[in-house]
Chains A and B, each alone.
Chain A
Amino acid sequence: MNKTRENNSPIPSKAGILSIQAKLFVLFSFIALILAVTAAQNDTRILVIGFAVSLFGGFIFTRRSIIEPLASLTRVVRKISSGDLTIRAEIRSRDEIGELARSFNTMANRLAEYPTKLERTVRKRTEDLTEANRMLGGINAELEGRNAELDAVAKALVRRDLELSELRRQQEDRLIELDAVAKTLVRRDMELLRVNDELRELDVAKSHFVSVAAHQLRTPLSAVKWTFDMLLSGDFGPLTKEQKDAVKRGRDVNKGTIRLVADLLDVARVESGRFPYSFNTVDIGKIIKEVVEINRAYAKERKIDIIISRVKGGRAKIPPTKADETALRMVLQNFLLNAINYTLPGGKIELVYKKEGKFIEVRVKDTGVGIPKREMGRLFTKFFRGDKVVRMQTSGTGLGLFIAKNIITAHNGEIGVESEEGKGSTFWFRIPIK
Chain B
Amino acid sequence: MQEKSTNPSKESNAAKSILVVEDDQFLRDLIVKKLEEEGLNIIQAVDGEEGLQFIKENKPALVLLDLILPGIDGFEVLKQAKSDPETKDIPIIILSNLGQKDDIERGLELGARDFMVKAHFTPEEIVKKAKEVLG
Contacts and interface: CB of A to CB of B under 8 A. Distances in A.
Interface of A: 215, 218-223, 225-227, 229-230, 233, 235, 258, 262, 265, 269, 276, 278, 326
B122 A262 contact: no
A38 to B, nearest CB: 199
Contacts of A218: 97, 118-119
12 contacts: A215-B68, A219-B24, A219-B27, A219-B118, A222-B97, A222-B119, A223-B24, A225-B118, A227-B30, A230-B33, A230-B124, A276-B101
A375 B31 CA distance: 45
Contacts of A223: 24, 26-27, 30
Nearest to A255: B119
A218 B27 CA distance: 11
Given A223-B24, A229-B123, A230-B123, A235 B118 contact: no
A326 B101 CA distance: 7
Contact of B97 (A215, A226, A276): A215
Contacts of B99: 262
Nearest to B27: A223
A269 B102 CA distance: 12
A230 B97 contact: no
Given A222-B118, A223-B30, A226-B31, 13 more contacts: A215-B68, A215-B97, A218-B97, A218-B118, A222-B119, A223-B24, A223-B26, A225-B122, A227-B30, A230-B122, A233-B122, A265-B100, A278-B101
Interface of B: 24, 26-27, 30-31, 33-34, 37, 68, 97-102, 118-119, 122-124
Contacts of B33: 230, 235
Contacts of A220: 26
A166 to B, nearest CB: 72
A200 B72 CA distance: 32
B94 to A, nearest CB: 14
A220 B27 CA distance: 8
Contacts of A221: 119
Contacts of A229: 122-124
A223 B33 CA distance: 13
Nearest to A325: B101
A233 B37 CA distance: 12
Q: Which one of B26, B98, B101, B123 has the highest number of Cβ atoms from chain A below 10 Å of its Cβ?
A: B101
A219 B102 CA distance: 20
Listed from nearest, the 6 A-B pairs whose CB atoms lie closest are A222-B118, A218-B97, A229-B122, A276-B102, A223-B26, A258-B119
Contacts of B27: 219, 222-223, 226
Contacts of A225: 118-119, 122
Contacts of B68: 215
A415 B122 CA distance: 35
A235 B126 CA distance: 14
B31 A276 contact: no
A393 to B, nearest CB: 22
B100 A230 contact: no
Contacts of B26: 220, 223
Nearest to B124: A233
A390 B31 CA distance: 36
A223 B68 CA distance: 15
A226 B30 contact: yes
Contact of A235 (B34, B97, B100, B101): B34
A230 B24 contact: no
A187 to B, nearest CB: 43
Nearest to B102: A276
Contacts of B122: 225-226, 229-230, 233
A230 B119 contact: no
Contacts of B24: 219, 223
Nearest to A330: B101
A170 to B, nearest CB: 66
B17 to A, nearest CB: 21
Nearest to A224: B26
A306 to B, nearest CB: 22
B100 A269 contact: yes
Nearest to A265: B100
B108 to A, nearest CB: 14
A389 B70 CA distance: 42
